[in-house]
Amino acid sequence: MTTRTRQFMKYSHTIGLSTMSGRGFYYPVDTAIGEDDRLYTVSRSLDGDPRGIRVTIYDLASEYFGTFGESGEDDGQMIWPTGVARDTQGRTFVSDEFTNRITVFDVDGDFSHSWGKMGSGAGELDGPSGVAFDRDQNLLVVDHHNHRVQRYSQNGIFLSEFGSFGSANGELNLPWGITASSKGDIYVADWRNDRIQQFSPDGEYLASFGRSGRDDGELFRPSSVAVDPDGYVYVADWGNERVQIFDPDGGFVQSIRGEA
């Protein structure tokens, strides 16, 4: 984990260990913070290995609170989980790019409901990845291979979509991560275009920053994005194996890279 000082980040401590069951993770891919300040991390496992697929619950002090979910295609099961989000009611929403569906777990981690089928039509999915809630508590789903973002009610009713394939402003190429700021603006990690795009709450293009490269402020396959209450943007620069921080206007602030 990291802590912020004067808008900068420094190393604090590490949480977790590699395990196929119980406490810890096995190839974790995404984390959501619950209303209870607990962390919910989804583990994807490796190369289709069914062992280790689950959601692990813990806190910043590394206290372990259990797991839920398992490998499979039945209700409450996952094959290639990719993204996780928590709503204000304490439910957990997990995207699965193999089954092309969103699975919802209740406050106890039990299966509630799911939706989604493969396709390119309205409401259909092809490799769902990042998930996040908008200011109205509707679920935003990054539809990776359809190069768009779709918006659903919490019961899976399709509401709207934005984005299309390309590299112009507002267009997407294999987008991955997503978040919504406290103001309601939506930020998308435009993976193949090596940039972050900012949209209005209604999905209208506002701005973008980042370009292909390895220097400060440049990106190579950004996979996840988060925004703090002050508007600073945190990007998982996956291809460059680092986290980069940008100010509210998209200006470079800091790069964080782990050391062996």
Secondary structure (3-state) at 161: strand
pLDDT at site 7? 52
What are 94-105's pLDDT values in tens digits? 999 999 999 999
Distances 129 to 36, 58, 174, 181 between C-alpha atoms, Å:
24, 23, 10, 19
Distances 57 to 63, 120, 128 between C-alpha atoms, Å:
9, 34, 23
* Tens-digit pLDDT string for the chain (260 aa): 544 434 577 888 899 889 888 888 999 999 999 988 899 999 999 877 888 999 999 999 999 999 999 999 999 999 999 999 999 999 999 999 999 999 999 999 999 999 999 999 999 999 999 999 999 999 999 999 999 999 999 999 999 999 999 999 999 999 999 999 999 999 999 999 999 999 999 999 999 999 999 999 999 999 999 999 999 999 999 999 999 999 999 999 999 986 64
**Any idea which residue has 């406490």 for tokens?**
23
Please tell me the CATH code under which domain 116-256 is placed: 2.120.10.30
What are 163-204's pLDDT values in tens digits? 999 999 999 999 999 999 999 999 999 999 999 999 999 999
Distance CA 253, CA 245 (A): 5
